[in-house]
Chain A
Amino acid sequence: MTSDFSTRAHDALNNPQLRANFRRAMDGLMTKRAAQFEDKDNWHALRARGAAIKARALARLPDLLEEFEQKAIANGINVHWAETTADANRIVLEILTAHGAKKVIKGKSMVSEEMHLNAHLEAHGIKAVESDLGEYIIQLAGEAPSHIVMPCIHKNKGEIAQLFTDNIENQPYTEDVDALTAAARQVLRREFASADAGLSGANFLVAETGSLVLIENEGNGRLSTTLPPLHIAVAGIEKLVEKLDDVAPLLALLPRSATGQAITTYVNMISSPRKAGEKDGPRQVHLVLLDNGRSRVYADEQLRDTLRCIRCGACMNHCPVYSRVGGHTYGSVYPGPIGKILTPQLAGLDCAGDLPHASTLCNACVEVCPVQIPIADILVRLRTEAAEPSTSPAVKGAGSGHSAVESAVWKGWQAMYAHPAAYKVGTKALSVVGNLIPAAAPLLKQWTSVRSKPKFAAKTLHELAREKGYDHE
């Protein structure tokens, strides 16, 4: 997972089609979400409830994982634990191999993206077919999702029409969305019918009942979890909630925040494999619980809040940076504000240290987060972890952003700004000679590429206040 945000941002910003696609899409999503939460009192009460549910579940996480496991096993679900994505891939592969599976049909799952599961399965001779329309499209294109809810939001009709013509037999070029959708339905029906296993994620895991809750609009999630004889779900350990009735407020938050829908077309609650006498459903259900650095995030009281995330994507929809550069610029599975705090924690600041800085800290994400994750505070915390080598690093790669020059600059800044006498001399000097600094000077060069040079005033406010006779104590 390399991270060179600036280089990719440069490319994205110079792609007018991409920018227009994102801008239009994000504007639409913001408008739809706003219409869902017009009643401000209800919104505040609801998100406070949602945040508390997730915080509560996290506070009790180890107990809830055990409770869930016990219930799920009693229901007939096989529960597996994976410390790393490599472990999770190995477990999935073992299950598939044991069933002689050659083809897996997939519902949308960000954790499977995090695992790079498709590549792993392909390497072992198992075909993984994405069935969510957006995921199917980017699989055809050989790309990664650019948004966690709408994976092919960066593509327009023309690009998709061409992909279909190139990849689907006897598919004429058409930009008609209904026709494209119908073509995908036909191809994927065959894939569903012939798949040996279905793979999905999970939106919530309910400890009280041992149930998996999955939400979706297309029905491909239901098909993936029902039609093939084997269902494997992969989920992060943070997906737990305590009680079934905790799902109600979270469901009132998730689709409305994500796409501005009152609810998704399907809410699919799975509590067991096919029982005796039942005519469909998988004969085996397996759940792989993935850690992959989450328990490390959990170890820090502040960073733990990252794990509240319910993956609605509202933070990226409202992010002025994301809406301009798109998801691929982040170079990580999770883009946008949540990606900026999650990726450096999972992959390490040494791998993704530029992400926490790719933010103006405008707090637009914080304002809409349905579970009140203090994203901006965590961004600043991660900047601090990167800049200051710590003796007990809470984050992998802490201190990797340390720069002797930068530290010296801030020490110098402190020397001036923490001492009134030095400040007085320093500001006086700047007001006299500051305007002589050339526009091409380091730092100022970037600033003046699209802006005029700021002008130092002849007199500081300190001086003017004294002259105007304002008391100073």
Chain B
Amino acid sequence: MSEARANILARLRAAPRLQPPERPQWQAPGFNDRLDRFRVMIEAVHGEVHLVSADTWRAHLRKVLAEKNVARVLAAPHLGLDWDDMVAYDAPVEDFKDQLVSGIDAAVTTTRGAIAETGSLVVVPDMDEPRLASLLPPIHVALLNAGDIADNLAQIMEKQGWAAAMPTNLLLISGPSKTADIEQTLAYGVHGPKELIVLVLQ
């Protein structure tokens, strides 16, 4: 072990020991209509929400993609999308980078749920839906089951048992990529998607 490590820890241990304070009560808010709150919040940050049924979402998605003049779509095969120009993220990024960086118009991913309070999607990338899928293409379409919307972050963390098994990467996504670095003027799509479309499956 490094000398720096030993020195730092020794200095910290030589400091006065203070009693760790208890965490005082605090309750994150709950909502009667979680879907409504989710929708209001994510729309407020430029997200687009479509309520669809579990049977018809693929047809609806086709319509949305067509309206947005999307050509190439990135999606995992198991989603069963019906689209002519469709690619899967089935190679390591090293072999797929060029296409991913500039050759795809929209990516479709699943989500692991959402948070009503802040209008956030919980996205856990995996082998079929790698991390960059929801980031590099200019449009990100996220599929969300209406039943998976929790009140708040603390609740969904606990319910889904995050702490016991953190994945390589876990994301909360609340709207498309944005910046206000130039004169506090909002601009979208600075690095990530310019558009975030959420299909809520009811």
Contact = CB atoms under 8 A, between A and B. Distances in A.
The answer to A–B direct touch (Cβ < 8 A) is yes
Interface of A: 21, 24-25, 28-29, 42, 45-46, 48-49, 52-53, 55-56, 58-62, 65-66, 75, 80-83, 87, 131-134, 137, 150-153, 155-157, 160, 177-178, 180-182, 184-185, 188-189, 192-193, 208-211, 217-220, 222-223, 226-227, 229, 237, 243-249, 251-252, 259, 261-275, 277-281, 289, 291, 295-296, 298-301, 304
Interface stretch (B60-68, B104-112, B115-123): B115-123
B79 interface: no
A345 to B, nearest CB: 14
A243 B158 CA distance: 12
A223 B102 CA distance: 14
B25 A45 contact: yes
A21 B92 CA distance: 45
Contacts of A277: 127
What is the size category of the interface that chain B forms with chain A? Answer: 35 or more
A281 B101 CA distance: 14
Contacts of A300: 15
B131 to A, nearest CB: 5
A268 B169 contact: yes
Given A218-B191, A263-B118, A83 B178 contact: no
Contacts of B163: 208-209, 243-245
Given A262-B174, A278-B126, 17 more contacts: A46-B26, A48-B26, A49-B23, A52-B21, A62-B9, A132-B181, A223-B136, A245-B158, A262-B45, A263-B118, A264-B174, A265-B175, A273-B168, A280-B89, A281-B93, A298-B11, A299-B16
Contacts of B93: 227, 279-281
Contacts of B184: 24-25, 28-29, 150, 153
B157 A270 contact: no
B11 A265 contact: no
Given A81-B4, A264-B174, A193 B97 contact: yes
A82 B102 CA distance: 39
B20 interface: yes
Given A62-B9, A237-B8, A301 B168 contact: no
Interface of B is mostly: loop
A265 B2 contact: no
Nearest to B118: A263
A405 B11 CA distance: 37
A59 B169 contact: no
Contact of A279 (B5, B96, B172): B96
A263 to B, nearest CB: 4
A188 B168 contact: no
B118 A219 contact: no
Chain A CB within 10 Å, residue with most, of B118, B119, B168 = B168
A62 B12 contact: yes
Contacts of A29: 184
A137 B157 contact: no
Contacts of B172: 263, 266-267
Q: Which 3 A-B pairs have the closest CB atoms?
A: A219-B192, A134-B181, A267-B172
Chain A CB within 10 Å, residue with most, of B2, B41, B153, B183 = B183
A371 to B, nearest CB: 12
A295 B6 CA distance: 12
Nearest to A277: B127
B162 interface: yes
Given A59-B20, A184-B190, A270-B168, A280 B132 contact: yes
Contacts of B126: 278
A172 to B, nearest CB: 16
B185 interface: yes
Contact of B183 (A42, A75, A157): A157
B102 to A, nearest CB: 7
B15 A299 contact: yes
Contact of B179 (A45, A55, A218, A229): A218
